[in-house]
Chain A
């Protein structure tokens, strides 16, 4: 069993707050780390694919960092908006099973206006 852990499980913030979540994964046999956003009744939407230790990715107000040596990634949202409300999923890919995503259970974010 390959454990991908995400914390917190859920988060409620006010509009304008900045927030961050954590994804931890096995540091051995690492290949890539994916972040997705999944809004209710929609398809999961790809945010980032990260492959290198120290990678930093940014898309608008959302950014992510990666530490493969210690096995964690942070996702940051600056100035949260109600439309950011969604479940944020991370998924790990290991070198021996390329293409197969191992998902965490997600962090459910609710942004109150």
Chain B
């Protein structure tokens, strides 16, 4: 079956513009996660969604970042008024059930965001 897909694969934008990154999780997966990897850094947690529960937004670096998940499936990560430090690879992952330590998270290929 299809894995996690993300679009666009690359995005170049100018400082101050808004961007939207999209994630399509694996069908049937109820948990969805966003991470990012900035240059020279490890993967950093941003946010996760589980079913209809309130998302855990504790990893979002500023109020310019927001995410939503519509119909329990597709998710959009929005970055407003982009800054150069937002340049990173943004990865989405999904897992089968409630977030648990032993659930495998399946990752998409990522969106490489470059803010000029």
Q: Is the interface of B mostly helix, strand, loop or mixed?
A: loop
Chain B residues near A32 (CB-CB < 8 A)? 101-102
Residue from B59, B91, B102 within 8 A of A44 (CB atoms): B91
Q: A43-B107, A98-B101 are in contact. Are A104 and B42 (CB under 8 A)?
A: yes
Q: A51-B101, A99-B33, A100-B56 are in contact. Are A43 and B109 (CB under 8 A)?
A: yes
B 38-63 binary contact with A (CB < 8 Å = 1; else 0): 00111111001010000010010000
Chain B residues near A97 (CB-CB < 8 A)? 56
Q: A43-B108, A43-B110 are in contact. Are A102 and B99 (CB under 8 A)?
A: no
CB of B99 within 8 A of CB of A100, answer: yes
CB of A27 to closest CB in B, whole Å = 15
A49 in contact (CB, < 8 A):
yes
CB of A101 within 8 A of CB of B43, answer: yes
B28 in contact (CB, < 8 A):
no
CB of B107 within 8 A of CB of A44, answer: yes
A→B interface (CB under 8 Å):
4, 31-32, 34, 36, 41-46, 49, 51, 89, 91, 93, 95, 97-106
